[in-house]
Amino acid sequence: MATEVYSVKTITLLNNTSFDASPLKIKYLRSFMNKFILMDNVKNDVEAIEVLSECTKIAMQQYMPHLSETIEDFIDLDILYDIIGQAAGIKINDKSEKTVKEQTEEKGQSWFDLDLAKLESEAFMLGIWKNYEELESSLSIPELMAVIASKRELDYEEKKFLAAIQGVDIDKGANKQNEWENLKARVFSKGKTSDGNDVLALQGATAKKAGFGIGFGLDYEDLTKN
């Protein structure tokens, strides 16, 4: 059963140096997406790869800071695509008939839909981080979503318990589908669904409740390998 918050992949560079790549912390993801938005103006794959190379440099600030500025000397296209995929969930297939830009347009928009300020404010109320900079340096988007999901679950269970003491069943006749579930569905399915009841929306703890899992984060886990 998949209960991971996100997947981690070991990537080996051309100099045989390896590192474990996981979703970028919000601190780096902000810079990554600010650079990635330049994809809107590229005219061909050469320009697209130039933008992705700059995005890779930003990702390497988290993975291997000492190679962040010279990473182009140690990667080929396959490695670049692996880094981009792990860093921000933007999967690119070099065998696809679609251009690089077309592929990134399909898979790079979900993060722009997030109201990060609102989500971070909710997580910050837990009192774990001294400021927002520390929060963004500590959490990736999947981790942030997992923290908030757990917080909301606990808040709901507390309200449910207090209501039960008063003889009220707040679940009865209630439609628990809401904007939060739809948001998670859209993000974790990479825009493929906006319905929290869709199978693509079942991730992590939610998937565990349903009895199975696709994964929780920027990628799906191939359960046929288990």
Q: Does residue 47 share a domain with residue 95?
A: yes
- Write the pLDDT tens digit of every residue in 83-123: 999 999 888 888 888 888 888 875 555 566 678 888 899 99
> Can you give the pLDDT at residue 51?
95
Of 76, 109, 142, the domain-final residue: 109
Question: What is the DSSP code (8-state) at residue 212?
Answer: -
In a domain, 2, yes or no: no
Instruction: Provide the token pair at 122.
Output: 């909710």
Q: Band the pLDDT of 187: cuts 50, 70, 90.
A: low
Q: Does residue 98 share a domain with residue 15?
A: yes
In a domain, 3, yes or no: no
> Can you give the pLDDT at residue 215?
40
In a domain, 104, yes or no: yes
Of 90, 109, 128, the domain-final residue: 109
Q: By the 8 A CB rule, do 196 and 182 touch?
A: yes
pTM of the complete model beyond 0.85 = no
Range of the domain at 25: 9-109
- How many DSSP H helices and E strands does the chain contain? 9, 2
End-to-end CA distance of the chain: 9
Of 109, 141, 163, the domain-final residue: 109
In a domain, 95, yes or no: yes
Question: What is the DSSP code (8-state) at residue 95?
Answer: T
Q: Does residue 137 share a domain with residue 91?
A: no
Q: Does residue 149 share a domain with residue 97?
A: no
Q: Does residue 134 share a domain with residue 52?
A: no
Q: How many domains in the chain? A: 2
State the average pLDDT over residues 124-135: 93
Instruction: Provide the token pair at 97.
Output: 């008939």
Q: Does residue 171 share a domain with residue 80?
A: no
Q: Does residue 133 share a domain with residue 90?
A: no
Distances (CA, A) of 15 to 12, 67, 79: 8, 11, 12
Q: Is the pLDDT of residue 190 over 60?
A: no
Do β-strands 9-12 and 18-21 pair in parallel, antiparallel, or remain unpaired? antiparallel
Q: Does residue 105 share a domain with residue 139?
A: no
Q: Single out the residue of 123, 140, 119, 116 nearest to residue 219, CA to CA.
A: 140
- Write the pLDDT tens digit of every residue in 38-47: 998 999 999 9
* Rounded CA separation 219/223 (Å): 12
Q: Indicate the residue type of 201.
A: A
